[in-house]
Amino acid sequence: MFYFWWEFLRRHEGYKDCCERSGKGRYKKLYADFGDVHAYKTKDFWKWWSEKVEEDLTRGQHLFAEPAARRIRAGNRSLNDQTDGTITLSIPLEVRTKQLVRNFRDILNDHKADVAAARKVSRALYPVAAKVRLVSLYQTLCVWDVWQEHKKRKKKYELAELAGLHVNRVVNGWTVEMAKREDLPYNDIQREVRRRQTASFNRHLAAAEDYIENVARGQFPKRSK
């Protein structure tokens, strides 16, 4: 997932310009965290990821790792400062520790839904925005690269072939190859397959555009509404 985060950010023209200007411009805040992603070749992703950016943290840890669990601490007596993901308790200090532990468990059991919801929320500096299959991200990236290289010279169904997109090639029980073997007309079958290829390419291209737009906002993989 994080490799594709890096790759899609490398496709953003505005961020590329920011890198060429050593972090100046609209994306300077993002640059302060991600650095010059164009200073590395594709094979050097791990070098970028493992580079130390703080005394004890690599860049990957700094950007994407969950922070250490928060500690229980004494707070104010007011309930006004209670935030999402926390429960403010009033603890009678005269109660023995074993009884307090049992009370804590009872309270957590009474708030199971809140506990479950809090544990699903990432507290990383850059949380993953959605669950997307890695193969889908790979195909989407291939579509974008093929589009950038060949969009003025080839039709979209041809680009779908170059990008390795798979579509159902069976039309009413027949494929082009089956029709050719039987020496039957296949133009309608071929036309439908090409329509499917074009539609698939357009879907992946739209996804790529969304991912690239939003990755420069620190959100990936996110589709625009």
Task: Band the pLDDT of 224: cuts 50, 70, 90.
Answer: confident
Both tokens of residue 179?
């029709």
34 neighbors 5 (Cβ within 8 angstroms): no
Phi, psi of 117 (to 5 degrees): -65, -40
- pLDDT of 120 over the 80 cut: no
> Per-residue pLDDT tens for 101-115?
887 788 778 777 777
Task: Band the pLDDT of 74: cuts 50, 70, 90.
Answer: low
Nearest to 11 by CA among 135, 146, 164: 146
Residues 6+ apart with CB under 8 A from 84: 118
Residues 6+ apart with CB under 8 A from 108: 115
Top-confidence residue, 86 or 138: 138
